[in-house]
Amino acid sequence: MTECTRNLEIEIPAGEVEREFIRIAQGFQKKARIPGFRPGKAPLSLVRQHFASKIREEAIEALVPAHLRAAFERESLEPVSTPTLDNLAFEPGSPLKFKASFEIMPPIELGDYRSIRTEMNVPPTGPADVEAALEALRQRHSSTEPSDAAQAEDGAIAVVEATPLPANESDVAPEAAPASVPPPALPQELSIEVGGADTLPQFSEALRGMRPDEERDLEVAYPADYPNAGLAGQTRKYHLKLKGIQKKTVPDLTDDFVKHATGADTVEELRRRIGENLTAERQHQARHQAEEAIVDQLLRQSPFPVPESLVDKQVEAKIERNLRGLADQGLDPRKLKLDWAKLRKRHEDSARREVRAALLLEKIADKENIAATPEAVEAEVQRAAEELQQPVDALRARLRDNGVLDRIENRIRQESVLEFLVRNATGTVAGSVEGAATQ
């Protein structure tokens, strides 16, 4: 039981239960077909006996929710989870008793959020940043062709047959039972730029100086932040065979090249566009970091327990987004051997933080009278309709029916509160924000 859990023991008087039984039984009586009696003419006592289980079920479905709602109002409780019922006891002629367990929203006391201060440092975008982006563009559009080089050197493309090796010799010990020996790993053909910026130093060191058909073993310690999560922080061994050497041709930076590669008419136009994009990206990143710093301070100011039911919903939403991402990559999550318990556990801490932050932002929105404007919500609907190529009116109705419109409004409101807090925390005068209205 968590700090947000509440229990209620409810007893419904026997007289009220009996009246409900009679009301439901009379409804059955009107259309009951019982052998020996015309429809609707069977005695009520016989109807109650014949449909006892169904009458009991309908009586419970009618009485329990009504008395729960009355108890919530009487105790001034607002459940945030569906109540679970325990110890439901009922015998004819006796009161109906049960225990209901549910979670409620905890009391949230805001700290002095207007005193929060942080900086929003946007690194300047200089000519070197733009030239680095242009060079990366040239590298992405490079081509390769066979080279007559005698050995692999920096800048060359090594075509390698890489075969994963067991981590320890004991993994393939002769005395091991056949069933315990893993199947041999299949070699992969890789193209690796020796000394390239994206090439791990261990690969470059192993390949540098190798001649075609030469073979070497290599042990690689992958860094903890390696993009491939399956290899990050791992140490792997490979047997390398150099199949061939290729040379890379990088296109010249000309107007024709940039027009073909990006659609920009000239190199100078592309330089300007890259500079603007880099600046916008750095501004966005700086704003995100400022928001995170502010939320961290909000959470420290206002500690409070979080209903686990809300955390569970947030975990499920995060997992659903992950699965959609896998599907977008062409992977079928149903065919992956996912450890659902570990997957949920991995998301719990971040989900709890997100729930606490959302509750605090909602509280601040109420206090500051910040709300999403109808114009901002409508702009989101218009944008979605354009992307989905659907009629605006039809999409708006569907979003309203399935509750997505409310979620859009809540998201805009939350973003507006963050904008308010960022302006206040960075020393800018906080006023009304785009998409929000102060009431």
- Asked whether residue 405 carries a pLDDT value surpassing 70, the answer given is yes
* Range among 226-235, 330-339, 354-363 rated most confident: 354-363
Dist. CA 129–CA 278, nearest whole Å? 8
Q: Where are the beta strands (DSSP E) in 355-395?
A: 370-372
Give percent helix, percent strand, percent coil of the chain, each to the nearest 5: 50, 15, 35
- Asked whether residue 432 carries a pLDDT value surpassing 70, the answer given is no
Is CATH 1.20.1280.50 the classification given to domain 144-171+181-249?
no
Longest dimension (CA), the chain: 104
What local confidence, expressed as pLDDT, does residue 132 receive?
95
pLDDT in tens, 299-349: 999 999 999 999 999 999 998 888 888 787 777 777 777 788 888 898 999
Can you name the CATH fold of 265-438?
Trigger factor, domain 2 (1.10.3120)
Instruction: Work out the average pLDDT over 347-353.
Output: 93
What local confidence, expressed as pLDDT, does residue 90 receive?
79
Dist. CA 296–CA 425, nearest whole Å? 13
What local confidence, expressed as pLDDT, does residue 179 receive?
39
Q: How confident is the model at residue 168 (pLDDT cuts 50, 70, 90)?
A: low
Instruction: Work out the average pLDDT over 228-248.
Output: 88
Residue 324, CA distances (Å) to 58, 222, 396 in order: 40, 28, 23
Q: Interior CA angle at 94 toward 90 and 97, to 5°?
A: 45
As assigned by CATH, the class of the 5-103 domain is alpha beta
Closest CA to 198 of 227, 221, 177: 227
Whether the CB-CB separation of 194 and 144 falls below 8 Å is answered with: no
Instruction: Pull the structure tokens for residue 318.
Output: 């995060």
Instruction: Pull the structure tokens for residue 120.
Output: 């929003």
Q: How confident is the model at residue 229 (pLDDT cuts 50, 70, 90)?
A: confident
Classify strands 157-165 and 436-438 as parallel, antiparallel or unpaired: unpaired
Instruction: Work out the average pLDDT over 235-239.
Output: 91
Whether the CB-CB separation of 190 and 160 falls below 8 Å is answered with: yes
What local confidence, expressed as pLDDT, does residue 172 receive?
41
Helix (H), strand (E) at residue 89: strand 84-89
Q: For the chain, what percent of residues have pLDDT higher than 90? A: 63
pLDDT in tens, 362-398: 999 999 999 999 999 999 999 999 999 999 999 999 9
What local confidence, expressed as pLDDT, does residue 343 receive?
84
Ordered DSSP codes for 309-334: HHHHHHHHHHHHHHHHHHHHTT--GG
pLDDT in tens, 207-221: 999 999 999 999 999
What local confidence, expressed as pLDDT, does residue 169 receive?
44
Dist. CA 52–CA 67, nearest whole Å? 22
Instruction: Work out the average pLDDT over 89-105.
Output: 88
pTM passes above 0.75: no
What local confidence, expressed as pLDDT, does residue 420 receive?
95
What local confidence, expressed as pLDDT, does residue 1 receive?
61
What local confidence, expressed as pLDDT, does residue 435 receive?
53
Instruction: Work out the average pLDDT over 147-173.
Output: 79
Domain residue spans of the chain:
5-103, 144-171+181-249, 265-438
Instruction: Work out the average pLDDT over 87-100.
Output: 86
Dist. CA 43–CA 39, nearest whole Å? 11
- Asked whether residue 429 carries a pLDDT value surpassing 70, the answer given is no
Instruction: Pull the structure tokens for residue 321.
Output: 């987004």
Residue 191, CA distances (Å) to 43, 242, 245, 248, 337 in order: 87, 10, 9, 11, 30
Helix (H), strand (E) at residue 157: strand 157-165
Dist. CA 312–CA 314, nearest whole Å? 5
Instruction: Work out the average pLDDT over 26-32.
Output: 86
